[in-house]
Amino acid sequence: MNFTDLNLDSIDIEDNVLTSNEIKIEGGNYFYTPKMYVPFGLENYKTTYSMNLQFRNIKDNQELQDFLGFIQKFENNLMKKLKISEEQFNSQLKYHNKYDPMLMTKFIFRFDKIECDVKDSSGHLNIFDIGKNFSCKCLLHIDKVWLFKGKYSCKLKVKEIFIE
């Protein structure tokens, strides 16, 4: 599913427990990113794994501009639904005045393994062999809305990586 196929105005949040809420979106909770740059590769902190996707050369790339607008609208719509301010929300977008913006993503880690398929033109790869400084498209999953230490967040989980 392309990110442009999701209807962000249809976001619905189902209250399941005190710390997390399910998100429902017309069109589904999975979408493909455009081609993005991965400067640092797979990152590990304690028992979690993450990967930062950079909007490299965004000024010259309309698809990346559209995707950044999509993520911004998604987060803004979540804040409206939750009736919270920006100060109460941890954005997954990070901005720096010297570099292009970054989208922080995480991996599903279950039963001591990362649940993510990694492919390139030659076939399947081991996720721990992907290195850094490469471009890829990803299939992302919109996870639950979490409340932690008084702030809400919604993680985007990497389900598949297509290295180009």
The DSSP-derived string for 21-80 is EEEEEET-SEEE--SEEESS-SEEETTEEEEEEE-TTGGG-HHHHHHHHHHHHHHHHHHH
Cβ proximity of 135 and 38 under 8 Å? yes
pLDDT value for 29: 92
Q: What is the pTM of this model?
A: 0.92
Q: What is the rounded average pLDDT for all residues in the chain? A: 92
β-pairing, 102-107 vs 151-163, is parallel
User: Domain total for the chain?
Assistant: 1
pLDDT over 80 (residue 106): yes
pLDDT the model gives residue 19: 62
* Residue 154 domain boundaries: 3-163
What is the CATH classification number for the domain harbouring 35? 2.40.50.140
